[in-house]
Every structure is written in C-alpha cells, then in structure tokens.
C-alpha cells in the first residue's frame, strides 16, 4: 500500500509536533521491524519472538509511561496509545505485547506500589527485562471479577494462595503476576480482595499456554495455577481488601489502550480498501472504486477513523490530567470496538475473495477485533456499568 496513511493526516492536526514526531518514529519502527514478520510468524504458529521483544525493549516501548527516575521514558497514557495505534496498524497481537506489559503490568505498580516495590521492579520493567501479568480473570470469574475464586489465606505472618487465573496476556514471558485474590469473603463487594505481586518462579506457581486461540495469534495467553503459594506482606500491592480498586483503576487506562488497538485496525482497513478500490478492475477494466456502494464503505471507514481518534485522544488527555471518569473509558471502548468490528466486515466484503487471504491483512484484524469487544471487560457487561451511572435511582436493580 504505497499511499500515505490516512490516519496520519488526522494525527498531524490532533497532536503537537513533538508527539507527532514520537508517533512517526514508532510507526517507522513498526513498519521496519514488525510488518515484515507478522505473516510468517502467524503461519508458523509462533508467538512474538524473543529477539523482537528485546528490540522493543531497546527501543523503549516497555518504559513509555514509567517515570524517568525509574529509568522509564516519562510519558503518559498518550504515548502508550500512540504506540498502540502504530503497532496495531500491522498487528494487534504485536501491539498488545508491550501494551499489556505496560498498561496492565507496570501500571498497577505505578499507581499503587510503595516506594520499595517501585524501586525493585520499575527499572527492569522499563527495559523489558521483567514483565508483570495482570491476574484478574479466572475460569469461573470473568465479568464477575470482583468476586475471585482464587483465595489468599492468612498463615502466620504471611499468606497462602490457591486457585487459578486464566487469559493472562504475556504469561509466557512474565517474571511476576499480580494476583487478585479473595481475602475477606464476608466483606462488602469490591472490598474483600487483595492484590499480591507473585514471582512466576515461586514454588507452587505453574503456567500453561492456552491452546486453540485464533485471535491475537502472536500474543501469549496463559493460565496460571497457584498451588499453596506462600507470600509475605511485602508482596501486597495497595491495601489489604482493596485489591479490586487496584484492578478496576488499572482497567480505565487499559480500556483506552484497547480502543486504540481497534482504531489501528480501522486505520489499516481504510488504507487497504482505498488502495484496492483504485487498483482492482471489474467490468470494462475500470476500478471498483467507481461503484458508489464501494465508495460508501471507504467513506464510512474514513468517518470512523476521524471520529474515533478525535474522541479517543480527547479522553486520553483527560486521563493524563487525572480527570477521566471510568464510564468514559468504558464507553469509548464499547463504541469504537463495536463500530470498527462491524465496518471490518464491510471492508472485507468490498474487497471480495482476496479478503479471505491471510496476506491481504484484513482477516487478521477481523479476528483480533473480537478481542477488543470482550477483553478488559466485555462490552455488554460494561454497558451495565455505564447504565448504572446514568440511572442512579434504580442502580441496585440493574444487572
């Protein structure tokens, strides 16, 4: 696709010069290092290779939101989202690797860690030498995440953890997992769980890659079991019985990142369809782009890209000023992921049979967009959360 990216045209106006230059550098990195490898890796059923993770680390992608005093790049959510856009244009699963490591891995530590925990972990996390996994979901607890079946029981001066987490992004490469565990079953909902930082090599921790996943194909997704794993109080992240706050607060930024993945997919589809509609000839050897029903899809994608990126960057600005409401993060993820995943099918349809080929690129985005609808809170469950904020008088009746 030799045409300039359409999304860059919008980003140029929405970002200051410095931020646009940063985005362009990451986009160049993605084009040189990531784009040429995605197809072959997917066909070989491999995960993101170690050498690429190392290059991402050297390029600074794992340290984007980490303060310079802990050897990070000192950026904010804006830099994370720009990285997500630039990488997901080629592959959401490449983007989610540094994306989950930062927005779900380092973030809870940055937001809730004490000074000793930050000094111990953040410098290595910033360099990509360590990776934290976000251990919220469980086989029996997805949307009902405030009520974990993984338990941590007081035992002398420490705690013993038992149970299983699943859908853990980056588990293959993780050094630690932040485990959300029930600590006070009789406590008030949202105030009965605690987060613990647990090394992946602690006795009793075991990991398995989840097989058969046909979305985010290059991303590691693991299940992690805890068989009487002992930790002490120093492992507690945040306050005892306030673990759900740690997880829920982290997810606000995570949802902005997931929305960025969907925008990256839309940006790719827009450029792909624009190029193909002008190249592909049918009937009298003339381009299919002359058909108005093909033009409709190009225009709908263009409108979606411009509206989505404008809205998303506005909310990212609020997040970086500490002014974002959690419903705003939920709404932007719900709306963008749903709209783009629907439009992706239209984009594929107007390209015809070629869209079924992996090398054409749209099918990958189609598959990956499904994750943006269920990941970091299923859209339908999140709608309940939004409705509760809109209908406060009947809040307790809503499910």
Ligand X SMILES: Cc1cc2nc3c(=O)[nH]c(=O)nc-3n(C[C@H](O)[C@H](O)[C@H](O)COP(=O)(O)OP(=O)(O)OC[C@H]3O[C@@H](n4cnc5c(N)ncnc54)[C@H](O)[C@@H]3O)c2cc1C
| Active site residue ranges | 376
Tell me the residue ranges of DSSP E strands in the chain.
132-135, 151-155, 158-169, 176-182, 193-199, 205-209, 221-232, 236-237, 281-282, 286-287
- Judged by CB, which is closer to ligand X: 135, or 264? 135
Q: Least separation, in Å, of the C-beta of 115 and ligand X?
A: 26
- Cα distance between residue 268 and residue 49, in whole Å: 23
DSSP string covering 283-341: TTTEEGGGSHHHHHHHHHHHHHHHHHHHHHHHHHHHHHTT---HHHHHHHHHHHHHHHH
Asked if residue 64 binds ligand X (CB under 6 A), the reply is no
Tell me whether strands 176-182 and 193-199 are parallel, antiparallel or unpaired: antiparallel
Asked if residue 261 binds ligand X (CB under 6 A), the reply is no
Span near ligand X by CB under 6 A; candidates 45-53, 161-169, 194-202, 280-288 = 161-169
Q: Within positions 8 to 37, which residues make up the interface with ligand X, using CB under 6 A? A: none
Asked if residue 190 binds ligand X (CB under 6 A), the reply is no
For 185, half-sphere exposure in the C-beta direction (CA atoms, 13 angstrom radius) is 7
Q: Considering CB under 6 A, how many residues would be counted as binding ligand X?
A: 24
- Cα distance between residue 314 and residue 309, in whole Å: 8
Q: In what helix (H) or strand (E) does residue 38 lie, and over which residues does it extend?
A: helix 38-43
- Judged by CB, which is closer to ligand X: 259, or 371? 371
- Judged by CB, which is closer to ligand X: 11, or 110? 110
- The two three-digit tokens of residue 26, written as one number: 């990451």
Asked if residue 50 binds ligand X (CB under 6 A), the reply is no
Beta carbons of 308 and 266 less than 8 angstroms apart = yes
**Among 159, 173, 216, 244, which residue interacts with ligand X (rule: CB under 6 A)?**
216
Taking phi first (over 0 means left), then psi (-120 to 50 degrees means alpha), and beta for anything else, what does residue 241 get?
Answer: left
Span near ligand X by CB under 6 A; candidates 68-76, 130-138, 286-294, 352-360 = 130-138
- Judged by CB, which is closer to ligand X: 24, or 143? 143
Calculated CA dihedral for residues 80, 322, 195, 150, nearest 10 degrees: -80
- Judged by CB, which is closer to ligand X: 249, or 378? 378
The tokens 């986009």 sit on which residue? Answer: 27
Q: Least separation, in Å, of the C-beta of 137 and ligand X?
A: 3
Span near ligand X by CB under 6 A; candidates 33-41, 46-54, 167-175, 322-330 = 167-175
DSSP string covering 161-217: EEEEEEEEETGGG-SEEEEEEES-TTSPTTSSEEEEEEETTSTTEEEEEPTT--SST
Q: Least separation, in Å, of the C-beta of 166 and ligand X?
A: 8
Asked if residue 137 binds ligand X (CB under 6 A), the reply is yes
- Judged by CB, which is closer to ligand X: 177, or 355? 177
Q: Within positions 367 to 386, which residues make up the interface with ligand X, using CB under 6 A? A: 371, 374-378, 380-381, 384
Span near ligand X by CB under 6 A; candidates 53-61, 135-143, 303-311, 315-323 = 135-143
Among all residues, whose Cβ is closest to ligand X?
142
Asked if residue 151 binds ligand X (CB under 6 A), the reply is no
Q: Least separation, in Å, of the C-beta of 82 and ligand X?
A: 21
* Inter-axis angle of helices 77-88 and 292-320, nearest 10: 150
Residues that bind ligand X (CB under 6 A): 100, 104, 134-137, 142-143, 167-169, 215-216, 221, 371, 374-378, 380-381, 384, 399
């Amino acid at each position: 696709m030799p045409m300039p990216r359409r999304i860059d045209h919008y980003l140029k106006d929405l970002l200051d010069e410095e931020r646009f230059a940063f985005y362009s550098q990451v986009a160049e990195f993605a084009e040189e290092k990531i784009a040429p490898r995605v197809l072959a890796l997917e066909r070989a059923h491999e995960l993101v290779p170690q050498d690429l993770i190392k290059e991402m680390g050297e390029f600074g992608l794992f340290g984007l939101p980490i303060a310079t005093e802990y050897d990070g790049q000192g950026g904010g959510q804006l830099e994370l989202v720009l990285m997500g856009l630039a990488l997901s244009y080629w592959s959401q699963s490449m983007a989610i690797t540094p994306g989950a490591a930062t927005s779900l891995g380092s973030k809870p530590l940055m937001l809730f860690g004490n000074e000793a925990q930050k000094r111990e972990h953040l410098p290595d996390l910033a360099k990509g030498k360590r990776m934290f996994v976000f251990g919220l979901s469980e086989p029996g607890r997805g949307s009902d995440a405030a009520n974990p079946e993984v338990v941590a029981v007081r035992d002398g001066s420490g705690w013993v953890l038992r149970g299983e987490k699943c859908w853990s992004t980056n588990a293959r490469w993780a050094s630690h997992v932040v485990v959300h565990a029930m600590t006070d079953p009789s406590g008030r909902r949202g105030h009965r769980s605690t987060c613990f930082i647990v090394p992946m090599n602690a006795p009793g921790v075991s990991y398995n890659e989840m097989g058969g996943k046909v979305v985010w194909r290059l991303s590691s997704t693991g299940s992690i079991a805890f068989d009487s794993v002992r930790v002490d109080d120093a492992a507690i992240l945040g306050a005892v019985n306030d673990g759900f706050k740690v997880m829920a607060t982290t997810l606000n930024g995570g949802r902005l990142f997931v929305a960025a993945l969907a925008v990256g997919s839309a940006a790719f589809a827009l450029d792909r369809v624009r190029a193909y509609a002008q190249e592909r000839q049918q009937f009298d050897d003339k381009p299919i782009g002359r058909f108005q029903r093909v033009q409709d899809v190009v225009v709908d994608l263009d409108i979606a890209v411009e509206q989505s990126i404008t809205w998303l960057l506005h909310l990212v600005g609020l997040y970086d000023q500490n002014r974002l409401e959690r419903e705003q993060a939920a709404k932007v993820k719900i709306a963008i992921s749903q709209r783009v995943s629907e439009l992706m099918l239209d984009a594929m349809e107007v390209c015809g049979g070629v869209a079924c080929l992996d090398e054409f690129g749209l099918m990958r985005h189609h598959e990956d967009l499904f994750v943006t609808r269920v990941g970091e809170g299923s859209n339908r469950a999140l709608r309940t959360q939004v409705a509760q904020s809109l209908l406060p008088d009947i809040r307790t009746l809503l499910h």
